[in-house]
Homo-oligomer: A and B are copies of this chain.
Amino acid sequence: MIRIGRLQSFSDAVIAIIVTIMVIQFKVPSGTDIFALKDIIPTFLAYLLSFSVVLGIYWNNNHNLIHPEKPVTTDIMWANLHLLFWLSLVPFATTWIGLHYSNSFPTAFYALLMLLCAIAYNILESAIERHHGKNAKLAGSFANIIKRKVTQTLYLFAIGAAFISPWISDLLFVVVSVVWLIPDEKIKRSTFLLR
């Protein structure tokens, strides 16, 4: 019997590798002045985006996966591997959008991959809830649900927007990063006021 804690450590390791190996694909500039860095700025920004979105969402969402001692069932295991599979393609999509940031298709591809990661995360969470029950008192879970709905909607828009102008999609990617930077408590309070 494998416990969720071990699958979690494994997933943490995969995430650590994913965000770190992206940097190997930075080409070291042949020039030696400040202008030599100009060529890698798009790649750098794409990396900054993927780094913060992958890690931000992954770590924030992990609030809900808090049963390290419970056993892993076959469907939890596959749901987790399914999430890791899409996440593992992030370095590829990041390098592609970094090199061709003004083109529609690499931008739409990046948005699609991010959407698939988000959906895979939901599938994993449902699988865990199905077996181990919902944790109703979970702090910040309400704000978390809002963040995730917003994220998925923005990625969906970003796929379409890439074919009008990739810059709209880029803007939406930045908005997603900012959404995850806001502490859950602030969202809770503001949605309370809206009601």
Residue A17 interfacial (CB < 8 Å):
yes
A26 to B25, CA, bound (A): 11
**Copies in the assembly, this chain:** 4
The reply to whether B2 and A62 form a contact with Cβ atoms under 8 Å apart is yes
Residue A145 interfacial (CB < 8 Å):
no
Which residues of chain B come closer than 8 Å to A103, judged between CB atoms? 32-33
A48 to B86, CA, bound (A): 10
Give the interface residue-count category, chain A. Answer: 35 or more
Instruction: List A residues 85-112 near B (Cβ within 8 Å).
Output: 85, 88-89, 91-92, 95-96, 99-100, 103-106, 109
A2 to B15, CA, bound (A): 16
- Find the B residue at minimum CB distance from A2: B62
Residue A14 interfacial (CB < 8 Å):
yes
The reply to whether A66 and B15 form a contact with Cβ atoms under 8 Å apart is no
Residue A118 interfacial (CB < 8 Å):
no
Q: A16-B17, A32-B103, A56-B78 are in contact. List 14 more A-B contacts (CB 8 A).
A: A6-B12, A9-B12, A10-B16, A13-B16, A13-B17, A19-B88, A21-B21, A23-B91, A24-B25, A32-B100, A51-B81, A51-B85, A56-B81, A59-B77
Query: Measuring CB to CB, which residues of chain A are less than 8 angstroms from any residue of chain B?
Result: 1-2, 6-10, 12-21, 23-26, 28-29, 32-34, 36-37, 48, 51-52, 55-56, 59-60, 62-63, 66, 72-75, 77-78, 81, 84-85, 88-89, 91-92, 95-96, 99-100, 103-106, 109, 139, 181, 183-184
Between A and B, 23 residue pairs with Cβ closer than 8 Å are: A1-B63, A2-B59, A2-B62, A6-B12, A9-B9, A10-B12, A13-B13, A14-B16, A14-B20, A17-B17, A20-B88, A23-B88, A24-B24, A24-B91, A25-B28, A34-B105, A55-B81, A56-B81, A59-B77, A59-B81, A73-B183, A74-B183, A78-B181
